[in-house]
Chains A and B, each alone.
Chain A
Amino acid sequence: MSATIEIRSAPHVKGGYSVEKIMRHVVYSLLPVCAFFVFQYGISALASMVVITATCLLTERFFVRTGTQSGSISDFSATITGLLLALSVPPGFPLWMGVVTGFIAIALGKALFGGIGFNVFNPALVGRAFAQAAFPTAIASYTASFLPGRFTEFIPSSLAWPLMIPPETAEWLKLKQLDALAGATPLGQWKFEGIVASAVDLMTSLGGHMAVGPSPLLIIACGAYLASRRFMDWRIPAAVISSAGLVASVLYAYNPSHFPNPLFTLFSGGLMLGAIYMATDMVTSPVTSRGVWIYGGLIGLLTVVIRYFSGLPEGVMYAILFANAAMPLIERISQPAVFGAVATKKARRSAAFSLETPASTLRESKDVVIPIKVVSNNQPPKS
Chain B
Amino acid sequence: MTTAVQARNFDEFMEGIWRQNPVFIMVLGMCPTLAVTVSAVNALSMGVATSFVLICSCALVSLMRNVTPKEVRIAVYIVIIATFVTVVDYAIQAISLALYDALGAFIQLIVVNCIILGRAEAHAAKNPPITSMINAAGMGIGFTIGLLSLGVVREILGAGTLFGVSLFGANFQPWVIMVLPPGGFFVLGSWLLLFSWWARRKEVAKNV
State whether A136 touches B176 (Cβ < 8 A). Answer: yes
Q: Which of A131-187 contact B (CB under 8 A)?
A: 133-136, 138, 160-161, 163-166
Per-residue A-contact encoding for B165-185, CB less than 8 Å = 1, 0 else: 000110111011110101000
Residue B22 is within 8 A (CB to CB) of chain A in the complex: no
CA distance A1 to B177 in the complex (A): 72
> Which residues of chain A are near B175, meaning CB under 8 Å?
134-135
How many of chain B's residues have a CB under 8 angstroms from any CB in A? 13
Question: Whole-angstrom distance between the alpha carbons of A350 and B179 in the complex?
Answer: 66
Interface positions, chain B 5-54, Cβ under 8 Å from A, are none
**Is A133's CB under 8 angstroms from B180's CB?**
yes
| Whole-angstrom CA separation of A134 from B176 in the bound complex | 5
| B160: interface (CB < 8 Å) | yes
For A108, A133, A135, A136, the residue with the greatest tally of chain B CB atoms inside 10 Å of its CB is: A133
Check B173–A133 contact: CB distance below 8 A: no
What's the Cα separation between A133 and B160 when bound, in Å?
A: 17
**Contact indicator B173/A166 (Cβ below 8 Å):** yes
Choice from B168, B172, B176 contacting A133 with Cβ under 8 Å: B176
- In angstroms, Cα B166 to Cα A163, docked, is 13
> Please, which residues of chain B bring their CB within 8 A of the CB of A94?
173
User: By the criterion CB–CB under 8 Å, are B160 and A163 in contact?
Assistant: yes
**A133 pairs with B171, CB closer than 8 A:** no
**A residues within 8 A CB of B169?**
164
Complex Cα–Cα for A94 and B172 (A): 13
Option from B173, B178, B180, B186 in Cβ contact (under 8 Å) with A138: B173
CA–CA, A160 and B171, complex, Å: 10
Q: Is A318's CB within 8 Å of the partner chain B?
A: no
- The reply to whether the CB of A130 lies closer than 8 angstroms to some CB of chain B is yes
Measured CB to CB, the nearest residue on chain A to B182 is: A133
A163 B176 Cβ-Cβ under 8 A? no
Q: Which of B171, B172, B173 makes the CB contact (< 8 A) with A135?
A: B173
Q: Please give, as numbers and ranges, the residues of chain B lying within 8 Å of A130 by CB-CB distance.
A: 177
Cα distance A163–B160 in the bound complex, in angstroms: 9
Closest Cβ neighbor of B173 among chain A residues = A165
Whose C-beta in chain A lies nearest to the C-beta of B197?
A68
Known contacts A134-B176, A135-B176, A136-B176, A164 near B182 by CB under 8 Å: no
Task: Name which residue of chain B comes closest to A166, CB basis.
Answer: B173
Our pick among B172, B176, B182 for the contact of A165 (Cβ within 8 Å) is B172
CA distance A25 to B84 in the complex (A): 67
Contact A134 B178 (CB under 8 A): yes
Partner of A134, one of B160, B168, B172, B177: B177
Q: Which residues of A contact B173 (CB under 8 A)?
A: 94, 97, 135, 138, 160, 163-166
Q: Which residues of A contact B168 (CB under 8 A)?
A: 163-164
**Residues in chain B near residue A160, CB distance under 8 A:** 173
> Are A164 and B171 touching (Cβ within 8 A)?
yes
Nearest B residue to A104 via CB reads: B186
User: Chain A contacts of B182 at CB under 8 A?
Assistant: 133
Bound CA span A97–B176, Å: 13
The residues of B that contact A136 with a CB separation of less than 8 Å are: 176
Instruction: Determine the distance from Cα of A134 to Cα of B168 in the docked complex, in whole angstroms.
Output: 17
Residues in A whose Cβ lies below 8 Å from that of B171: 161, 164-165
Mask, B140-173, CB within 8 Å of A = 1, is 0000000000000000000010000000110111
Cα distance A136–B172 in the bound complex, in angstroms: 14
Nearest B-chain residue to A164, judged by Cβ:
B171
Name the residue on A nearest B168 (C-beta).
A163
Q: Which residues of A contact B180 (CB under 8 A)?
A: 133
Across the interface, which residues of A come within 8 angstroms of B176, CB to CB?
133-136
* A136 and chain B: residue at smallest CB distance: B176
Q: How far is the CA of A312 from the CA of B87 in the complex (A)?
A: 46
CA A97 to CA B175, docked complex, whole Å? 10
Q: How far is the CB of A106 from chain B (nearest CB, A)?
A: 15
CA A163 to CA B186, docked complex, whole Å: 19
Contact A163–B172 (Cβ < 8 Å): yes
B-side contacts of A161, CB under 8 Å: 171
What is the distance, in angstroms, from A125's C-beta to the closest C-beta of chain B? 15
Alpha-carbon gap, A379 to B127, bound state (A): 64
Determine the distance from Cα of A53 to Cα of B103 in the docked complex, in whole angstroms: 42
List the B residue with the shortest CB-CB distance to A108: B186
Residues of B within 8 A of A163 (CB): 160, 168, 172-173
- What is the distance, in angstroms, from B26's C-beta to the closest C-beta of chain A? 22
A133 to B157, CA, bound (A): 13
Cβ distance B46 to chain A, nearest Cβ, rounded Å: 25
For residue A97, which residues in chain B have a CB less than 8 angstroms away from its CB? 173
Complex Cα spacing A165 to B139, Å: 40
A309–chain B nearest beta-carbon distance, Å: 23
With A and B bound together, what is the CA distance between A164 and B160 in angstroms? 10
6 contacts between A and B (CB under 8 A): A97-B173, A130-B177, A133-B177, A134-B175, A134-B177, A163-B172
Please provide the 9 A-B residue pairs with the shortest distance between their CB atoms, ordered closest to farther: A133-B177, A134-B177, A134-B175, A165-B173, A164-B171, A165-B171, A163-B168, A134-B176, A164-B173
Apart from A97-B173, A108-B186, A164-B171, what are 8 other A-B pairs with CB-CB below 8 Å? A130-B177, A133-B177, A134-B176, A134-B178, A135-B173, A136-B176, A160-B173, A165-B173
